């Protein structure tokens, strides 16, 4: 019997020949009928791959035979077998595109000089410890701003970024300079964006930076909707969003009628690339599934 799963993992490690790793990974995935997206750079690997559980286990076993990839943390989730349209394996300047390939320092142990990793329990310990000193922990969203429309940490700061490329401009704008002396926790979906973001923040004088180990995914597995997380998690596959329990708060609203919604939809205008929240009713007709303020392109 076949069973479909998705694996998500990343590893920061120096790779002297990213092109060779790319060819190896592509051949391996093709042989095992896996689909998904893999990015390789001189600093490591970032992968989301789906397929049959047996094939995925073989894939991970082989991938981990490469010394630099041995200790990667793998996240498993359920797949449908139709989660990715194709296999894409690419070598790029960065495995997450911050537009700062020269700034990131990586060695055998991962990113050099990033924020302190916190496990979900350790995050709660930090918040409690700071609170008892009358200090507040600041949550800093490391994702694209739209993702926070359907869920984020309580009172989190959501930087004004359309893509990860905008973070440097945001950090250099001075907007967040008052946070430089405060305890700041960065968080993102699976942890990879925070590996880079937290190091960029440390480099820019943020004195006490933490990052959520394993991201929102790991936190949600641990505390579901009984902790500091509120709402749904945006995910980059066909599901578009996921909830950690039936108690998830619906924090998003339909852009047209303001009804609660956690479902992003593409505008019905084919030349418009805006992704917005629509309720089921507004999404059901092309006339209402369209930017209320007019489309931008």
Chain residues that interact with Zn ion, rule: CB under 5 A: 254, 256-257, 259, 267, 269, 272, 274, 279, 282, 291, 295
- The catalytic position among 29, 188, 194, 279 is 188
Residue 217 C-beta: closest distance to Zn ion, Å: 29
For residues 122 and 66, what is the distance between their CA atoms, to the nearest angstrom? 31
Residue 264 C-beta: closest distance to Zn ion, Å: 13
Is 188 in the active site?
Answer: yes
Residue 272 C-beta: closest distance to Zn ion, Å: 3
| Closer of 40 and 279 to Zn ion (Cβ) | 279
For residues 277 and 119, what is the distance between their CA atoms, to the nearest angstrom? 31
| Closer of 3 and 257 to Zn ion (Cβ) | 257
Residue 281 C-beta: closest distance to Zn ion, Å: 6
**With contact defined as beta carbons under 8 Å apart, do 261 and 253 qualify?**
yes
113: helix, strand or coil: coil
| Closer of 212 and 279 to Zn ion (Cβ) | 279
* Whole-number Cα distances in Å, 290 to 149, 279, 297: 18, 12, 13
For residues 221 and 24, what is the distance between their CA atoms, to the nearest angstrom? 32
- The percent of the chain in helix, strand and coil, each rounded to the nearest 5, is 30, 25, 45
Element of type H or E holding 27: helix 18-31
| Closer of 212 and 282 to Zn ion (Cβ) | 282
Catalytically active residues are 188
């Amino acid at each position: 019997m076949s069973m479909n799963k998705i694996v998500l993992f990343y590893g920061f490690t120096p790779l002297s020949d990213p092109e060779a790793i790319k060819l190896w990974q592509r051949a391996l995935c093709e042989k095992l009928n896996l689909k998904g997206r893999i990015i390789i750079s001189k600093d490591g690997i970032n992968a989301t791959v789906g397929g049959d559980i047996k094939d995925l286990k073989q894939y991970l076993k082989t991938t981990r035979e490469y010394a630099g990839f041995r200790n990667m943390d793998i996240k498993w989730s359920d797949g449908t077998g139709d989660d990715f349209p194709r296999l894409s394996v690419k070598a790029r300047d960065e495995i997450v595109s911050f537009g700062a390939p020269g700034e990131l320092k990586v060695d055998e142990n991962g990113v050099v000089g990033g924020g302190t990793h916190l496990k979900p329990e350790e995050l709660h310990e930090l918040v409690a410890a700071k609170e008892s000193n009358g200090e507040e922990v600041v949550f800093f969203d490391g994702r694209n701003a739209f993702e926070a429309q359907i869920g984020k940490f309580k009172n989190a700061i959501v930087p004004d970024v359309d893509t990860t490329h905008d973070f440097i401009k945001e950090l250099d704008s001075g907007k967040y300079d008052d946070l430089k002396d405060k305890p700041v926790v960065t968080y993102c979906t699976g942890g990879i964006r925070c590996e880079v973001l937290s190091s960029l923040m440390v480099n820019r004088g943020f004195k006490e930076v933490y990052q959520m180990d394993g991201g929102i995914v790991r936190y949600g597995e641990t505390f579901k909707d009984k902790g500091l997380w509120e709402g749904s998690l945006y995910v980059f596959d066909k599901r578009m969003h996921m909830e950690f329990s039936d108690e998830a708060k619906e924090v998003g609203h339909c852009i047209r009628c303001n009804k609660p919604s956690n479902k992003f939809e593409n505008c019905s205008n084919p030349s418009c690339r805006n992704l917005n929240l629509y309720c089921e009713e507004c999404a059901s007709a092309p006339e209402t599934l369209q930017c209320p303020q007019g489309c931008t392109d």
